[in-house]
Amino acid sequence: MSSSSEHAEQHHETDGGESDDGMVHSHISSLKLYVGIFLALIFFTVVTVAVSYVHLGSLNLAVAIIIASIKASLVVTFFMHLKYDNKFNSLMFVCGLLFIGVFFAYTLNDTDRRQNELNDVQGNKVYLGEVNDKQAPGGFEPKAEPAHSGSMGEEHKDEKAAPHH
Amino acid sequence: MTSEAATADAHEPKEGEEHDHGHGHDHPKYLAHHFDTPAQQFDAAKIGMWAFLVQELLFFSGIFVAYGIFRSWYPEMFSAASHQLNRLMGAGNTIVLLFSSLTAALAVRSAQLGQKKHTSTFILITILCAFTFLVVKYFEYHHKFEAGLLPGQYFHPDHHHLVAGSPELPANSHIFYSLYFMATGIHGVHVAVGIGVFIWIWRRNERGDFSKDYYTGVDLTALYWHLVDLVWIYLFPLLYLID
């Protein structure tokens, strides 16, 4: 396997890129590189398991995500060939990550403020601690007073007000 | 209609003249007539695949965002609930998937080198790893069902089956298991789909569809498989390794 593959590799590498004969000339990584990347991935898996036994408080999550991201970038760069690939594919991938970031940032910016800020500022009661089958976590009880909008709103107000008197 | 026929005619003799390029490669039966060159066809396929993979990432990001929301609300519950997951099985499955990613990458390498036999072998090892992953997953799910650690309203923890010495499960632990089953379930479906596609690619390889000039099917399937691996790389620490 090795002698024939080495030859083919050299052929491809000297050929690749420059000659424009319309044929597919992909970069062919060496067996050594692939096995090396695999061993690095195993190493980082062991590290992430080991670190999970060390109590670092909230840092544990950050460390786990950083290690996972190192592993992910190894997979994307070498196993998925983005390093040698058409740069447009990398651009698409990075844009995808960017939008995932937007998804996280905007959503958590809302949900993480519900109990403290939204409760105080808007007077909404947010279900967080007391979760049961009727109250979806993160949902909130709308304020009792109905919206004032036109005659419909006015009628509602009368109906609601009636039983009190 | 007439213009289409005209271009089709114009391409016809060109395919026959391939030998004139003088590269000694075979008559490219694999080249679809709406592409000028094999390289152009390959690049187009790759761009399409990456668009699909990015869509997959966005698809999975929904479950990760849900995870982020609930974990930031109930950190203690997540810690308690994750103690019921089997770290050894999770770590073992991680290694199995990483190894299958290696063999998938090596299958592509063999295809690039035109080593048909090696390509088949590496694809078969990858499929075997995928099955191993699902079998381990089955045993994990089996324990969760026995212990009543199920999503939402089906959550009814049975203390005889819980992991000994683990912290008390808070009432809202069902949220964790909803996320666990949703995330690993969707991921498991992707593994199963991967097995199917790899079997098809293995058959095509055996049939002699691929060569060192044309191995798009092997390459794209491996890309998909690496993505499945990528998602698991995040799922493993986030679900199994919480404090």
**Contact indicator for B228, B191 with CB cutoff of 8 Å:** yes
Lowest-confidence segment of A110-114, B50-54, B103-107, B141-145 by average pLDDT: A110-114
pLDDT tier for residue B85 given thresholds of 50, 70 and 90:
very high
With beta carbons less than 8 A apart as the criterion, state whether A34 and B109 touch: yes
pLDDT at B19: 45
SS3 for chain A is CHHHHHHHHHHHHHHCCCCCCCCCCCCCCCHHHHHHHHHHHHHHHHHHHHHHCCCCCCHHHHHHHHHHHHHHHHHHHHHCCCCCCCHHHHHHHHHHHHHHHHHHHHHHHHHCCHHHHHHHHHCCEECCCCCCCCCCCCCEECCCCCCCCHHHHHHHHHHHHHHHC
Chain B hits for A92, CB-CB cut-off 8 Å, are: 47, 50-51, 54
Region of residue A35 (left: phi > 0; alpha: psi -120 to 50; beta: else)? alpha
**Optimal mutation site among A25, A35, A79, interface B, most CBs of chain B within 10 A:** A79
- Please check the confidence at residue B192 and state whether its pLDDT lies above 60: yes
Mean pLDDT on B14-24: 46
- pLDDT the model gives residue A111: 84
Distance CA B184, CA B139 (A): 13
Contact list, A37 vs chain B (CB under 8 Å) = 102
* Chain A touched by B112 (CB under 8 Å): yes
ipTM score: 0.85
Q: How high is the pLDDT of residue A132?
A: 58
Closest CA in chain B for residue A26: B112
Q: Would you say residue B122 has pLDDT above 60?
A: yes
Counting Cα atoms < 13 Å in the Cβ hemisphere of B101 gives 35
CA atoms of A137 and A131, how far apart (whole Å): 6
Q: Mean of the pLDDT values across residues B51-65?
A: 97
What does the block give as tokens for A111? 């949900």
d(CA B122, CA B196): 15
Backbone angles phi, psi at A125, to 5 degrees: -95, 115
- What residues of chain A lie within 8 A of the CB of B76, using their CB? none
Q: Does B154 touch chain A (CB under 8 A)?
A: no
| Pick among B31, B63, B97, B112 to test the A interface (most A CBs inside 10 A) | B112
More confident residue, B39 or B220: B220
The answer to whether the Cβ–Cβ distance between B98 and A45 falls below 8 Å is: yes
Adjacent-strand bridge partners of A140: A126
CA-based torsion, A106, A110, A113, A115: positive or negative: negative
The residue-averaged pLDDT of B16-35 equals 62
Contact A4 B106 (CB under 8 A): no
Establish, for the pair of chains A and B, how many residue pairs have beta carbons separated by less than 8 Å. 167
Asked if B115 has any chain A CB less than 8 Å from its own CB, the reply is: yes
* Residue B150, min C-alpha distance to chain A (Å): 15
pTM of the model: 0.80
Per-range mean pLDDT, top range of A33-37, A83-87, A108-112, B73-77: A33-37
Report, as an integer, the average pLDDT of B190-199: 98
Which residues are A126's β-sheet partners? Answer: A140
Q: What's the pLDDT at B73?
A: 86
B233 contacts in chain A (CB < 8 Å): 68, 71-72, 75
Q: Do B226 and A75 touch (CB under 8 A)?
A: yes
Q: Transcribe B14-33 into DSSP letters.
A: HHHGGGGG-S-PPP-TT--T
On the question of pLDDT at A50 being above 80, the answer is: yes
Q: State the Cα–Cα distance between residues A113 and A56, nearest whole angstrom.
A: 24
Give the mean pLDDT of A67-78.
Answer: 97
Residue A112 confidence (pLDDT) = 81
Q: Is the pLDDT of residue B216 over 90?
A: yes
Low-confidence winner among A17-26, A62-71, A126-135, A144-153 (lowest mean pLDDT): A144-153
- What is the pLDDT averaged over residues B128-139? 98
pLDDT given for residue A154 in this prediction: 44
Return mean pLDDT, chain B: 89
pLDDT at A137: 62
The span from the CA of A32 to the CA of A28, in Å, is 12
Residue type, B44: A
Q: From the CA of B206, how many Å to the nearest CA of chain A?
A: 19
Out of A47-51, B34-38, B46-50, B142-146, pick the least confident. B34-38
Q: Is B109 on the interface with A (CB under 8 A)?
A: yes
Chain B residue with Cα closest to A30: B109
Q: Which of B42, B57, B69, B214 to mutate to test the interface with A (most CBs of A within 10 A)?
A: B69
Judged against a pLDDT cut of 50, whether residue B136 lies above it is answered with: yes
Place B67 in a pLDDT band, splitting at 50, 70 and 90. Answer: very high
**For A45, which of B46, B64, B94 is closest by C-beta distance?**
B94
Closest chain B residue to the Cα of A46, Cα to Cα: B91
The answer to whether B98 and A41 have CB atoms below 8 angstroms apart is yes
**B29 vs B145, higher pLDDT:** B145
Computed over every residue of chain A, the mean pLDDT equals 75
pLDDT of residue B183: 97
| Cβ pair B68:A107 closer than 8 A | yes
Q: Taking 50 as the threshold, does the pLDDT of residue B31 lie above it?
A: yes
Contact A9 B113 (CB under 8 A): yes
pLDDT band at B1 (very low <50, low <70, confident <90, very high): very low
CB A51 within 8 A of CB A17: no
Whether residue A77 is predicted with pLDDT greater than 70 in this model: the reply is yes
In the prediction, which pLDDT does B168 show?
87
Q: Would you give the DSSP letter of residue B163?
A: P
Task: Give B117 or A114, the one with higher predicted confidence.
Answer: B117
Q: Are B102 and B180 in contact (CB under 8 A)?
A: no
Specify the pLDDT at position A70.
Answer: 97
Contact between chains at B65 and A22 (C-beta distance less than 8 A): no
